[in-house]
Structure 1
Amino acid sequence: MMPANYPRQPAHLWEHFYRFTQIPRPSRQEAAVRQYVIDLAEKAGHQHALDEAGNLVIYIPASPGREDSPTVIIQNHLDMVTVKTADREHDFETDPLSLQVEDGWLSADRTTLGADNGLGCAAAIAVMTDPEVSHPALELLFTVDEETGLGGALNFDPSLLSGTLMLNLDTEDWNELYIGCAGGAGWHFARSFSQEAVAATAECWQLTLRGLAGGHSGVQIHEQLANAGKLLAEALRGVPGLRLASIEVGIAHNVIPREGTVSFCCEPGSEARIREHLDKVRQQWLAYLPPADHGVELALCPAQLAAALDPVDSLRLLDLISLFPHGAQAYSLEQPADLVDLSINLAVVRLQQGELFIESSYRFFNPDQSLPLQNSVLALARAFDLEVEVDVGYPGWQPDFSSPLLEQGCELHQRMFGERPAIKAIHAGLECGILKSKKPDVDILSFGPTIRGAHSPSERLRIDTVEPFWQFLKQLLAEL
């Protein structure tokens, strides 16, 4: 149900965004929301095309008198990250989001909001449905499967596009224009461990870590947010006679893990010592973790286990998690210190019935700069006898400070709002890099309203940035 205080202006944009929040759209399950867009296009009499990957292009004729203006592409992705808190019952494949407005922010009830990139999609559709918008011929590109590896863009058929100007609406800081994004790649690692029966006299426990902020492994990696897998490995080092049975940490390659659970057995009579140790390490964490992570909790409860790794392999696995790199590795020498040049995310650690699975991804602007990091991770994999599967990478979008589209956007922003916008690149895998590699002649500019906590249940959209974002988009289209 729409909240009574749900934003109302600009009407077309907010209406379409609400519809997006009511249609489940996990990655690779975008058919329903794509059909919503197609139905709107057909109702308006516009043509559309689909490629084999499921990407959608809507073709909109120019407004009267704008027929000689160059065609503009407006690009967004249909899917959203699906993350919720442990205490929230929500099925992202069937349930609509429950929205709430508080202190000038729009969010969802303990789930991701999908403003990344649903708000941009809604803006593109609003351009199509609002008769007051003056625009050249438009090609509205809606890609699929962005959040799980940019699959839609990687498999996009560029012959569906003719435009040489592109507006991407998938960045998350108003008053900033983006002209570059990171490339990325990653790995899956696997190994089998032998298990041994758990003695009847052993103590068996389940340790759950929750309360971290989590977040986007690109745009938030410089915030030094804690990684649940790293913290759990540290906490377990105080357990006498530790034998690991299971680990469940992380959900996706582009999400900093915010919670996790480990099952283990240990020496009899260890409960008091373990609880004392857990209290101690939590207090140590609070001394240096960022305020966003100060809700961290450790919950210990009894478990029933039939088999577990031996103590040697258990310690070896903790060593692997501790040694695995995570976080910002290098910062830009040209931009402010919050622009990371190179980073890595230890995204998923899973141990079930002796089978270990690890997923990690890294991001870069210069692929050559990532080579030492790649070599160190692969050396670690060899040292711990891990099988390695390399994920397909994607190119970055190298900043072009001489872009005519950038200069036009800056001049317009100055005229409308009395100041030039910040010009930035983003340490995240926008689809712009891939699309630029497929259409080298396209000039790209990216912008959007302010979103915080993307890829986490704390995702929220700052409402008062949406109206100026929309006015800027409308005026830019009127002048291109």
Structure 2
Amino acid sequence: MKPENYPQTPSHLWEHFYQITQIPRPSKAEAAVRQYVIDRAEARGCRWQADAVGNVVVYVPASPGMEASGTVIIQNHLDMVTVKTEDKAHDFDRDPLQLRVEDGWLKADRTTLGADNGIGCAAALAVMTDDSVQHPPLELLFTVDEETGLGGARELDAGMLSGDRMLNLDTEDWNELYIGCAGGGGWTFTRGFATEAAADGLAGFHLNLKGLAGGHSGIQIHEQLGNAIKLLVDVLQGVEGLRLGGIAAGVAHNVIPREGDVYFACPAEAAPALEARLDTLSGHWRGYLPAADHGLEAALAPWRAESLLSAADSAAVLDLLAVFPHGAQSYNLAQPADLVDLSINLARVELAAGELFIESSFRFFNADQAQPLRRAVESLARLAGLEVHPMAGYPGWQPDFTSALLAQGKALHRRLFDVEPAVKAIHAGLECGLLKSKKPDVDILSFGPTIRGAHSPSERLQIDTVPPFWQLLTALLAEM
């Protein structure tokens, strides 16, 4: 149900966004939201086309008098990250999001909101359905599977597009114009271990850690948010005789892990020291983690130990996770200190029935700079006896400070709001890099309203940044 205080203006944009939030749209399952786009296009008499992987382009005729203007592409992705708190019952394949407005922010109830990139999709649809908007011929590009590795953009049939100017609406800071983004890559690692039955004299435990903020592994990696995997290892590493039974931590390659579970056994006489260690470390963590992570909770509970790794293999797994790199690796020397040049996210760890699975991803602006990190991680994996499975990478979008579209956007922003917009690159994998590689001559500019906590249950959209975002978008289209 729509909240009573749900925003009203601009009306077309907010209505489309609400409808999008009511349609489940995890990555690789965008059929229903794609159909919503197609239905809106057909209701307006607009032609549309889809490629083999499900990307859709809607062709919107020019407003009267703008037929001779060059075609403009407006690009967004249909899928969303699906993360919830442990206490929230929600099926992202079936359930609509439950929205609420608090202190000027639009949120969802203990789940991701999907403003990344649903608000951009809503804006593109609003341009099509709001007759007051003046615009040149448009190609509204809605891609799929962005959040699991930019799969839709990677496989896009660029022959569906003719425009040579593109507006990407997938950045998250109002009063900022983006002209570059990071590239990326990653891996999964696997290894099988022999297991044994639990021996007498061992006590089984379930260690649960929750309440961290989590977040976007690109745009928030410099915030030094707690990684649940690293904190769990911090508790267990060095416990004499510890034997692992299972691990489950993290949800996706582009999400900083916010919670996790470890199932293990250790000599019964070690249990009191382990409880005391957990209490001590919880205090230490709050001493250096950011305030967003101070809601963390860690608890031990009894567990019936059955199938376990040996003590030596258990120590090897914990040692590997302790030394596995995570976080910002280098910063851009010519830009503000929050622009990271190179980073890595230790994203997921699973151990079940002796089978270990690790997932990690990295981001970069300079592919050459990323090579030593890539080689180091793969060397570490080989030393640990892991099988290395590289994920498909994607290119960055190199900033172009001579862009005509940038100059136009800056001048218009100053004229409309009497504020000089910041010009930035973002340490996240926008689809612009891949799209630029497919259409090298396209001029791209990216902007959006303010979103915080993307890829986490704290995701929220600052409501009062949406009207000026809409004003800039529609004014820019009117003069293109």
TM-score, normalising length from structure 2?
0.99
Please tell me the residue identity of whatever aligns with 1:265: A
- The equivalent residue for 2:249 is 249
Please tell me the residue identity of whatever aligns with 2:417: F
In the TM superposition, residue 390 of structure 1 has moved relative to its aligned partner by 0.7
- The equivalent residue for 2:422 is 422
Please tell me the residue identity of whatever aligns with 2:90: H
- The equivalent residue for 1:10 is 10
Whole-angstrom CA distance in 2 between matches of 1:403 and 1:213:
37
- The equivalent residue for 1:343 is 343
Q: Tell me which moved more, 379-388 or 270-279.
A: 270-279
In the TM superposition, residue 238 of structure 1 has moved relative to its aligned partner by 5.2
Task: Write the mapping of 1:70-469 to structure 2, written as runs, cut at 5 A.
Answer: 70-237=70-237, 239-469=239-469
Secondary structure of the 1:286 match is: helix
Whole-angstrom CA distance in 1 between matches of 2:104 and 2:200:
56
Whole-angstrom CA distance in 2 between matches of 1:190 and 1:240:
25
Are the aligned partners of 2:203 and 2:305 in contact in 1 as well (CA < 8 Å)?
no
Are the aligned partners of 1:238 and 1:274 in contact in 2 as well (CA < 8 Å)?
no
Are the aligned partners of 2:237 and 2:319 in contact in 1 as well (CA < 8 Å)?
no
Whole-angstrom CA distance in 2 between matches of 1:68 and 1:333:
44
Are the aligned partners of 1:238 and 1:277 in contact in 2 as well (CA < 8 Å)?
no
Deviations 1:53-111 (A, max 9, x none): 10000001100000111100000000000000000000000000000100000000000
Whole-angstrom CA distance in 2 between matches of 1:62 and 1:287:
57
Whole-angstrom CA distance in 2 between matches of 1:3 and 1:286:
35
Whole-angstrom CA distance in 2 between matches of 1:284 and 1:45:
61
Whole-angstrom CA distance in 2 between matches of 1:237 and 1:362:
25
Secondary structure of the 2:226 match is: coil
Deviations 1:342-401 (A, max 9, x none): 000001111011100001100001000001101110110111011001111000000000
In the TM superposition, residue 240 of structure 1 has moved relative to its aligned partner by 3.4
Whole-angstrom CA distance in 1 between matches of 2:454 and 2:23:
19
- The equivalent residue for 2:31 is 31
Secondary structure of the 1:298 match is: strand
In the TM superposition, residue 197 of structure 1 has moved relative to its aligned partner by 0.8
Whole-angstrom CA distance in 2 between matches of 1:302 and 1:459:
34
In the TM superposition, residue 294 of structure 1 has moved relative to its aligned partner by 1.0
Whole-angstrom CA distance in 1 between matches of 2:301 and 2:269:
14
Whole-angstrom CA distance in 1 between matches of 2:388 and 2:240:
32
Are the aligned partners of 1:78 and 1:118 in contact in 2 as well (CA < 8 Å)?
yes
In the TM superposition, residue 420 of structure 1 has moved relative to its aligned partner by 1.4
Whole-angstrom CA distance in 2 between matches of 1:382 and 1:40:
51
Whole-angstrom CA distance in 1 between matches of 2:335 and 2:238:
42
Whole-angstrom CA distance in 1 between matches of 2:469 and 2:268:
61
Task: Structure 2: state its 5+ residue gaps.
Answer: none
Whole-angstrom CA distance in 1 between matches of 2:116 and 2:367:
26
TM-score, normalising length from structure 1?
0.99
Are the aligned partners of 1:136 and 1:477 in contact in 2 as well (CA < 8 Å)?
yes
Secondary structure of the 1:287 match is: helix
Are the aligned partners of 2:78 and 2:142 in contact in 1 as well (CA < 8 Å)?
yes
Are the aligned partners of 2:143 and 2:152 in contact in 1 as well (CA < 8 Å)?
yes
Whole-angstrom CA distance in 2 between matches of 1:102 and 1:420:
29
Aligned residue pairs, count: 480
Whole-angstrom CA distance in 2 between matches of 1:273 and 1:363:
39
Whole-angstrom CA distance in 2 between matches of 1:34 and 1:10:
23
Whole-angstrom CA distance in 1 between matches of 2:335 and 2:67:
39
In the TM superposition, residue 269 of structure 1 has moved relative to its aligned partner by 3.1
Whole-angstrom CA distance in 2 between matches of 1:202 and 1:341:
46
Secondary structure of the 1:212 match is: coil
Whole-angstrom CA distance in 2 between matches of 1:171 and 1:311:
47
Secondary structure of the 2:420 match is: coil
Secondary structure of the 2:205 match is: strand
Whole-angstrom CA distance in 2 between matches of 1:113 and 1:238:
40
Secondary structure of the 1:141 match is: strand
Secondary structure of the 1:122 match is: helix
Are the aligned partners of 2:250 and 2:257 in contact in 1 as well (CA < 8 Å)?
yes
Q: Tell me which moved more, 340-349 or 281-290.
A: 281-290
Secondary structure of the 1:83 match is: coil
